[in-house]
Amino acid sequence: MTDVTSRLTILALALVAAVASGCQRSDAAPASASAAAAAAARRPTRVIRIARREGKVREYPCLKCHDKITAVLQRPTPIKRHTAIRIKHFKGADACYVCHDTRAMNRLALLSGESVGYDASYELCGQCHGEKRRDFAIGAHGKLVGGWRGTAYKYNCVDCHDPHHPKRAAVNALPPPPFPARGIRKSRGAHR
Amino acid sequence: MKRRRRRRRDGKHPLSRRGFLRGLGAGAATAASAAAATVGTSACSTDWDKVFQKHYKEMTAADKKKVFARIAAEAKQRFGKAVTVSDPQPLPGVRFAFCISLSTCNGNRKCVHACVEENNQGRDPAIQYIKVIELDRGTLDLERGDQYYGGEVPRANKVYLPMQCNQCDNPPCVKVCPVEATWKEPDGIVAIDYDWCIGCRYCMAACPYEARRFNYHQPSLPASQLNTNQGYLSNRVRPRGVVEKCHFCMHRTRRGAYPACLEACPTGARKFGDINDPDSEVHKIVKHKRVFVLKEELNTVPHVFYYFD
């Protein structure tokens, strides 16, 4: 009842306001334009940085060997030293230099030939996984740490997915809640 | 001791149960609605104070300090540990919301157990705020879901849906509480006053999301696992016979931190933030992704959004 009356009041007030401001309608447009400009100029309340990746490659610091060893442009690339790497990605990824840059071994090469660092490896992944790249950009995909306000850090793709074997392995679930003492288990026939 | 609930202040419910009782207290049952409408007038408030004495009034800063000291002393006596109790206030203009990606969640239940550790829930019988429901892929029929699954996850052709308090904008649990021990805070969190709750469990019956839990026993909690950073309306140790539920980790989130379940999630399926802030990830997800809420038809206006990415 009160909801209805308050809505009616709001409607009536809006009507009165609309009639009163009818002659000033022309002023409204510049005011909203300046508001839009102010909104564009305002500082973002939320800054999301992508967690750094460069300098974290400990197992195989690339340039320790690859300043002397040159690229083997052979398909599939024979892997002699990188024995821990198992490749289970898309079918075309059988050669290291599909993604790694032959000119600078501690960098990655986009399909366009542009060289990017490990920090921007999401650009490389995003070439094929465009949908995920979009979700990553708006914050719908990828873990964020730090807090919901101010500056936060977003994990890069390879922080969670092994780039050579991107499908995440199955894990053991933590224990379920205790089943109620007098509960009745769902049987296959009854609820399925 | 109690917080005065906020509903009466905005005048949406001129004749509430408590307002009616207050009218009785003033000795004028026939003028009950009039008395309730004139909250705080001099004649009424003196009678009000006489009848209810110190039992129902808004807590001042000094009152709170005293109560926090009492809670800390009780915890010291029971657990032998010093705890800090605080009551962070809602941040102006903020409305909290959760977004959960169902294609990323793999049902590992890390969130459930992180929540238990953060919020001092009873361990035996176990009280857990989050239920992770295993559903067949292609259906979202919660009745056919299984929350007691175990072993290796994710299983083939299954989707995992974590369910917790939805912090509704139109909360049925708040409407049914006969003593108004639960109310909606300005930042959207539905809070419970554990000292004011009488344990009638109406709210548990009213909640369509099975979000509320009841302490049938004194919560058993090893002293070594006690979280000493406690909030008055959130994770302080509950007494026996009261209802509790997820409160979006009020003691953390009102200070800018993420909730414990989100921090524990190894997959990054959980997104949390201020939905009023256009730069926040939850705002962008609700704006750009196809999101859904549970039991939308009940018009509870939940603020936990699910999406597939």
Question: Is residue B145 in a domain?
Answer: yes
Residues of chain A contacting residue B274, judged by C-beta atoms under 8 Å apart:
148-149
Instruction: Give chain A positions within 8 Å (CB) of B151.
Output: 172-173
**Token duo for residue B188:** 């959207």
Please indicate, yes or no, if residue B82 is contained in any of the structural domains: no
Determine the residue type at B240: R
What pLDDT shows up at residue B158? 93
The domain containing residue B9 runs over which residues?
Answer: 1-58
In the 8-state DSSP scheme, what is residue A175? P
Give the orientation angle of helix A130-138 with respect to helix B281-288, to 10 degrees: 130
Tokens, residue B37: 């409408």
With CA atoms as reference, report the closest residue to A99 among A124, A65, A66, A126. A124
Maximum distance among all Cα pairs of chain B, rounded to whole angstroms: 69
Strand partners, A76: none
Q: What pLDDT was estimated at residue A93?
A: 78
Residue with tokens 């009780």: B74
- Interchain CB distance below 8 Å, B152 and A173: yes
Question: Chain A partners of B12 at a C-beta cutoff of 8 Å?
Answer: 2-3
Whether residue B98 sits in one domain with residue B8:
no
B104, B110, B144 ranked by CB distance to A191: nearest:
B144
- CATH of residue B130: 3.30.70.20
- Residue A153's pLDDT is 93
Task: Write the single-letter amino acid at B274.
Answer: D
Max Cα-Cα span within chain A:
82
Nearest CA in chain B to A46: B279
- Dihedral sign for Cα B130, B136, B140, B143, please: negative
Task: Tell me which of B37, B58, B79 is where a domain ends.
Answer: B58
Q: Do A170 and B280 touch (CB under 8 A)?
A: no
Is residue B303 a contact partner of residue B95, using CB atoms and an 8 Å limit? Answer: yes
Q: What is the pLDDT of residues A126-174, one digit of tens each?
A: 999 999 999 999 999 999 999 999 899 999 999 999 988 999 999 999 9
Task: Using alpha carbons only, give the angle A175, A178, A180 rounded to the nearest 5 degrees.
Answer: 160
Task: Confirm whether B69 is domain-assigned.
Answer: no
- Report pLDDT digits (tens) over A8-33: 455 444 444 444 444 343 344 444 55
B77 located within any domain? no
User: What pLDDT, on a 0 to 100 scale, did the predictor assign at position A136?
Assistant: 94
* CA–CA dist B170, B193 (Å, integer): 19
Q: Confirm whether B66 is domain-assigned.
A: no
Is residue B129 domain-shared with residue B208, that is, in the same domain?
yes
What's the complex ipTM?
Answer: 0.77
For an interface test with A, the pick among B279, B299, B305 (most A C-beta atoms closer than 10 Å) comes out as B279
Q: Residue B242's pLDDT is what? A: 96
In this complex, do A141 and B146 lie within 8 Å of one another by their Cβ atoms? no
Measured CA to CA in angstroms, residue A134 lies from A142, B8, B280 at distances of 11, 45, 15
Give the whole-angstrom CA distance, residue B180 versus residue A42: 41
Half-sphere exposure of A73 (CA within 13 A, CB side): 3
Quickly count: other Cβ atoms within 10 Å of residue B303's Cβ: 23
* Same domain, yes or no: B91 and B45: no
Read off the pLDDT of residues A26-81 as tens digits, 9 standing for 90 and up. 344 444 556 556 655 666 778 888 888 787 776 667 888 888 877 777 777 777 77
Q: Residue B211 corresponds to which amino acid?
A: A
Cβ of A17: how many Cβ atoms within 10 Å?
10
Query: Digits of tens for pLDDT over chain B (309 positions)?
Result: 445 444 444 444 555 666 556 655 555 434 434 434 444 445 555 666 666 665 667 788 898 999 999 999 999 999 999 999 999 999 999 999 999 999 999 999 999 999 999 999 999 889 999 999 999 998 888 888 899 999 999 999 999 999 999 999 999 999 999 999 999 999 999 999 999 999 999 999 999 999 999 999 999 999 999 999 999 999 999 999 999 999 999 999 999 999 999 999 999 999 999 999 999 999 999 999 999 999 999 999 999 999 998
Is B280's CB within 8 Å of A132's CB?
Answer: no
CB B264 within 8 A of CB B277: no
* Last residue in a domain, options B41, B58, B75: B58
Same domain, B52 and B102: no
Same domain assignment for residues B182 and B309? yes
**Record: contact A171-B152, CB cut-off 8 A:** yes
Residue bearing tokens 């030939």: A113
Q: Which of B14, B126, B152 sits opposite A170 (nearest CB)?
A: B152
**Is the domain of B149 the same as that of B274?**
yes
Answer whether residue B171 is part of any domain.
yes
Classify residue B79: in a domain, yes or no: no
CA dist B210 and B165 (Å) reads 8
Q: Chain B within 8 Å of A2 (Cβ-Cβ)? A: yes
Q: What is the pLDDT of residue A17?
A: 43
Q: What pLDDT, on a 0 to 100 scale, did the predictor assign at position A150?
A: 86
Which residue, among A190, A181, A175, A185, has the nearest Cα to B149 in the 3D structure?
Answer: A175
- My answer on whether B300 and B217 are in the same domain is yes
Residue of B100, B110, B280 best to disrupt the A interface, most CBs of A under 10 A: B280
| Beta-carbon separation of A138 and B265 below 8 A | no
Q: Which residues contact A110 (CB under 8 A, 6 or more apart)?
A: A116, A123, A124, A127
Q: Does A188 touch chain B (CB under 8 A)?
A: no
Total domain count, chain B: 2
A147 closest CB neighbour out of B154, B258, B309:
B258
Q: What's the pLDDT score for residue B220?
A: 92
| Tokens linked to A4 | 């209805």
Q: Pick the closest to residue B215 from B196, B190, B194 (CA basis).
A: B194
More confident residue, A7 or B147: B147
Inter-chain contacts counted by CB atoms under 8 A, chains A and B = 117
3-state secondary structure of B291: strand
Hey, how many other C-beta atoms are within 10 angstroms of the C-beta on B75? 22
CB contact under 8 Å between A172 and B151, yes or no, is: yes
Rounded to the nearest 10 degrees, how much is the dihedral formed by the CA atoms of A158, A160, A161, A167?
A: -170
Same domain flag for B102 and B249: yes
Q: How far is CA B37 from CA B17, B24, B43, B276, in A?
A: 13, 14, 13, 33
HEC string for A81-142: CCCCCCCCCCCCCCCHHHCECCCCCCCEECCCCCEECHHHHHHHHHCCCHHHHHHHHHCCCC
Q: Tell if the CB–CB gap between B152 and A186 is shorter than 8 Å.
A: no
- Per the DSSP assignment, residues forming a β-bridge with A172 are B152
Q: Is residue B81 part of a domain?
A: no
- B96 shares its domain with B134: yes
**Residue B45 sits in the same domain as residue B94:** no
3-state class (DSSP) for residue A50: strand
Q: What is the DSSP letter of A162?
A: B
Q: Find all residues with CB under 8 Å of A12, minimum gap 6, and list them.
A: none
Beta strands in chain B (DSSP E): 84-86, 96-101, 131-136, 152-153, 158-163, 182-184, 190-192, 213-214, 229-231, 243-244, 270-274, 291-292, 304-307
Residues B118 and B177 in one domain: yes
**Residue B28 shares a structural domain with residue B118:** no
Asked if A173 lies within 8 A of B107 by C-beta distance, the reply is yes
